[in-house]
Amino acid sequence: MQDYDLDDRLVERTRRLVDLARRQRAQLETDLEQTTGMIRRSRELLRKLRMWPKTNERDR
């Protein structure tokens, strides 16, 4: 009987760990998508800024 209780506890703990891993994976995928979007926007902004004429102190 004790072995069954131990098995049940191990199964429940394993289920909780798997659920936690799934939630963490979903969060990581969301974070990755957001970070990728931020990088893309930063690159686009840098590209636009490079097109602007450069100003020097001498031109003022």
pLDDT in tens, the chain (60 residues): 678 888 999 999 999 999 999 999 999 999 999 999 999 999 999 999 988 877 665 555
pTM over 0.75: no
Amino acid residing at 39:
I
d(CA 46, CA 40): 10
C-alpha distances in Å from residue 60, one per residue of 9, 32, 56 = 76, 44, 7
| DSSP secondary structure code for residue 54 in this structure | P
Gyration radius of the chain over CA positions = 26
User: In which element (H, E) is residue 7 found?
Assistant: helix 2-51
